[in-house]
């Protein structure tokens, strides 16, 4: 069983669905059905991890509903509400050079092209036009501000060094 650092969060259980133990799933994948490519999930909730197996699934409106093996009634399903759905990172398909999964970018230290520390990537937002990096200040940052920086490779994001846990951006620290 992998550790949390070897996992990627692909969604969240948001609510129960019906009386037979089904749950609603908010998928972070694109398209949303891609989360169903992984039948073995790790549910992360309140500092605990639990391996579960997807028994059955179907599209419901804009989201998904899922039946988990061993979960047969509404009360059992309620216990999983709010749990994050993670899979082993090694199970994710390889990406072409220069493309990254969001979980790979989270935690990277962010520096300007002139070497000024802006903070660390906390998470990303999907805005439609382009994704946005949410950069939170650290003790080494130039100030204590949170920054929203467009994730535009080769324009704003000039370099990503996953091994060095560092990202370089062409960004004015005053923004």
pLDDT, tens digit, for every residue of 20-58? 999 999 998 889 999 999 989 999 999 999 999 999 999
Residue 129: per-residue pLDDT: 87
Spatial contact of 83 and 71, defined as CB atoms under 8 Å apart: no
Spatial contact of 52 and 91, defined as CB atoms under 8 Å apart: no
pLDDT, tens digit, for every residue of 89-143? 888 999 999 999 988 999 999 999 999 999 999 999 988 889 999 999 999 999 9
Is pLDDT of 88 > 70?
Answer: yes
Instruction: Find the distance separating the first CA and the last CA of the chain, reported in whole Å.
Output: 43
Q: By mean pLDDT, which of 67-76, 91-100, 146-155 is the weakest?
A: 91-100
What is the pLDDT averaged over residues 79-97? 93
Helix (H) or strand (E) holding 103: helix 102-105
Q: Report d(CA 105, CA 112) in Å as an integer.
A: 16
Helix (H) or strand (E) holding 170: none
Of the pLDDT bands very low, low, confident and very high (cuts 50, 70, 90), residue 1 is very low
């Amino acid at each position: 069983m992998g550790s949390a650092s070897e996992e990627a969060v692909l969604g969240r259980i948001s609510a129960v669905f019906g009386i037979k133990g089904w749950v609603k799933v908010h998928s972070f994948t694109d398209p949303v059905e891609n989360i169903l490519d992984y039948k073995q999930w790790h549910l992360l909730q309140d500092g605990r991890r639990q391996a579960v197996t997807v028994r059955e699934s179907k599209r419901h409106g804009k989201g998904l509903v899922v039946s988990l093996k061993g979960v047969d009634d509404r009360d059992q399903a309620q216990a999983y509400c709010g749990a994050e759905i993670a899979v082993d990172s090694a199970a994710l398909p390889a990406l072409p050079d220069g493309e990254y999964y969001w979980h790979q970018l989270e935690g990277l230290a962010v520096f300007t092209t002139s070497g000024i520390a802006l903070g660390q990537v906390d998470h990303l937002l999907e805005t439609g036009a382009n994704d946005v990096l949410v950069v939170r200040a650290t003790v080494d940052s130039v100030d204590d501000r949170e920054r929203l920086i467009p994730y535009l490779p080769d324009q704003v994001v000039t370099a990503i060094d996953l091994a060095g846990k560092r990202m370089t951006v062409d960004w004015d620290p005053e923004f």
